[in-house]
Structure 1
Amino acid sequence: MKEKYWVPALEKANNILALIGERPNQLRLIDISKQLGINKSSLFSLLNTLETLRWIVKEEGDTYSLGPALGALSAAYFKQFNILQSFYKEASVSVSKINEHIQLGMLEKGNVVYLGKMEGDSRVRLVTDPGMRFPAYASAIGKIQLTQYDKNELEELFPSSQFVKKTPFTISNIDDLYENVNAAKKNGYAIENQEASLGFHCVAAPVYNYENNIIAGVSFTMMTNSWEQKKDAAKEEILNLANRLSQYAGYTGNQKQMIE
């Protein structure tokens, strides 16, 4: 990105911090210079300034790691972070592209608690609204968050007596749920076809935080005729939305690799 008021020194400092963050206590000045293409004289001044500001720390062997000032800034950022506020900001972008309903939900034991909803032009009413709970095994937004559990943990969450069929297509046993969850792990997204309500389909993606943990899920919901036309575009956009929300939450990894 090159704009009218762009400050190259800040861009270089950002690249330095990112590189040190990827390889803490491994790189010396000469290594950073080679990797970023910054001449040693300029780099010396940048590193010295960052060290004085405590954004980086010079370790034994003249290598560098991130400093405590960045930790303080991170704490301040996460103190102000509001996932619901971020959802409404970013979901409007996704709705404008796909024009279908989007929901945000968090896993609470074996249920999804719905937190937010952004509607497209469809007049169809969803079976869930903000504040409602719904079985995680019967929803894409629930199943994508269940990818963090192994089969034994799923069995603890869902005793056989807890599988209540919402439609003829609803999962009703641990083996099928585990198979669905494994497919979601492999793909990086979860799909639900008429399991929560007849005629409705969902695709969901996970939201990660700075600790690489899944903290929520987002999903598109639409009727069968729209699903056949939009499922590929909806799948791509829900992954994009989840990635944007994950970045707000401090996640810096690759979501596809993380879920695998």
Structure 2
Amino acid sequence: MDKKYWVPALEKADGILRLVSEEPHKYRLIDMSNELSIHKSSMYSILQTMEALNWVEKNINDTYAIGSATGRWGNAYSQGQNLITSFHQEAIVTRDRLQETIQLAQLEGDEVLYLAKEEAPTIVRLASGPGTKFPAHVTALGKVLLSFLDDTELDSLYPTQELTSATEFSLKTKTDLVKQLRIILDEGIAFDEHEVIVGFCCVSAPILSQSGEAIAAVSCSMPQHIWEKKKELAEAEIRQLANRLSHFYGGSK
């Protein structure tokens, strides 16, 4: 790896975490200083910061172990992996019922990040595969996730009235977006009709945690001529899929 932008302090913190995770409550500051060849003054500053951030914790004997923050990281990582695994297991059922492509995504700032996809056995292939990002306000997935944000969060993401457009059908102003988001939150479902690609429509529902937080969303997309026949069925199936996945995390809607 190119170390042009390497941050030595983070490398030292990584060494500390590795050391105290392998043998918790064994090492004091001086022990880690000797073990990792880090000067005592630097070690003191790093440990003070790590302790304040709950990366490590110190007991009454002045020895260290990993802190509560690392537990949250592990849970978040496991949850993300479990979500994708659960999605593939459950989305296959929905895909086969609808014979249309099903997708999973999360919100990243003002964009929606696609995490996984179950492709329908059709000649039409969606460009939005895992790792792809789109402006959240033009997608059903993004809008259903944005609907859970409060006004302060929305103002931070959209500081001006004007919104970028993907097609002529995309929402043009923040006022229109907020108005639509309130309806989406109340109904628990979002639609995109030609807002990303003219000729394609999409329906999306949120995956909820036990606390009611939208941790991700699922969607189904299809060409307009099929949408006219399957819209109601697609809405019902996507709601059911979102509910099944929500149950894994103690939530449902």
TM-score of the aligned structures, taking structure 1 as reference length:
0.64
Distance 2:163 2:122 in 1: 30
Where does 1:185-196 land on structure 2 (aligned, <5 Å)? Answer: 185-196=185-196
8 A Cα contact 2:166 2:196, kept in partner: yes
Amino acid at match of 2:114: Y
Kindly indicate whether the alpha-carbon contact (under 8 Å) linking 1:207 and 1:246 is maintained by their aligned counterparts in 2. Answer: yes
1:79–1:195 CA distance, 2 compared to 1 (3 A) = closer
Aligned to 2:71: none
Q: How does 1:90-109 map to 2 (within 5 A)?
A: 90-109=90-109
Shift of the alpha carbon at 1:159?
3.0
The answer on 1:84 being equivalent to 2:84 is: yes
Count of residues paired in the alignment = 178
Instruction: Using the TM superposition, give the Cα deviation of residue 99 of structure 1 relative to its aligned residue in structure 2, in angstroms.
Output: 0.7
| Cα shift at 1:127 | 3.4
Cα distance in 1, alignment partners of residues 193 and 151 from structure 2: 22
Question: Given that residues 116 and 129 in structure 2 are in contact (C-alpha distance below 8 angstroms), is that contact kept between their aligned partners in structure 1?
Answer: yes
Shift of 1:209: 1.4
Q: SS where residue 201 of structure 1 aligns?
A: strand
Unaligned runs of 5+ residues in structure 1 are: 1-74, 256-260
Residue aligned with 1:238, SS: helix
Q: Quote the sequence identity (%).
A: 38
Q: Distance in 1 between matches of 2:85 and 2:138?
A: 26
Structure 2, unaligned stretches of length 5 or more? 1-73
Shift of 1:162: 7.0
| 1:164-223 deviations in Å (ceiling 9; x for gaps) | 211000112101101111121121100110001110100000001123211001000001
What is aligned with 1:62?
A: none
Q: How does 1:65-144 map to 2 (within 5 A)?
A: 82-144=82-144
**For residue 188 of structure 1, what is the amino acid of its counterpart?**
G
* 2:213 equivalent to 1:213: yes
Deviation per CA, 1:116-174, whole angstroms, max 9, x where unpaired?
01111232222311101111000000000011123342122023387221100011210
Cα contact 1:83–1:249 (8 A) shared by 2: no
Whole-Å Cα distance in 2 between the matches of residues 134 and 177 of structure 1? 16
Match of 2:238 in 1: 238
Structure 1 residues 161, 186: CA separation in 2 closer, same or farther (over 3 Å shift)? closer
> Deviation of residue 103 (structure 1)?
0.6
Alignment-derived partner of residue 229 in structure 1: 229
